[in-house]
Amino acid sequence: MSLSDRLNEDMKQAMKSQDKFRLSVIRMIRSAIKNIEIDQRRSLDDNEVLDIISREIKQRKDSLQEFEKAGREDLAQSAKAEIAVIAEYLPQQLTEEEVKVLVQQTIQETGASSKADMGKVMAALMPKVKGRTDGKLVNQLVQQLLT
């Protein structure tokens, strides 16, 4: 079952169970997907849908940080709940140790030896971890291991 089909089925289930919060989050994701499909005049594949879902989570995490800085606990709780619902559609997330191992392997594969080679490492590494970890974490680990 594709991610789009899964979102549709989960939306129907949320309607049946009258889970208004979950329904609104799923509709928001579907809306973002639909907008891009309309812009590109074609259906999106699972990788593209995964990119959109990852972007939606990143936006929520950024908002969450701002809400916490501003002391808006009510909005922070709402953002956390949205993140939890959206995260169900991402693949199993990698632990920091697993990411570190992948970074080390990629550094060896690319023959990188300094920070000047960071772009080469990131280009080879990001497809391996797509949707399974945060890009900031990958960036930090690459910088640590290249120094």
Rounded to the nearest integer, the mean pLDDT of the chain is 93
Q: How confident is the model at residue 16 (pLDDT cuts 50, 70, 90)?
A: very high
Q: Please check the confidence at residue 114 and state whether its pLDDT lies above 90.
A: no
Q: How many Cα atoms sit within 13 Å of 136 on the Cβ side?
A: 4
Write out pLDDT tens, residues 51-110. 999 899 999 999 999 999 999 999 999 999 999 999 999 988 899 999 999 999 999 999
Give the integer Cα–Cα distance in Å for 98 and 42.
Answer: 36
Say which DSSP state 88 is in: T
Cβ-in-10-Å burial (0-12, 13-18, 19+) of 110 comes to middle
Matching residue, tokens 């991610």: 3
Which residues, at least 6 apart from 64, have a Cβ–Cβ distance to it below 8 Å? 76, 79, 80, 83
Residue type present at position 77: Q
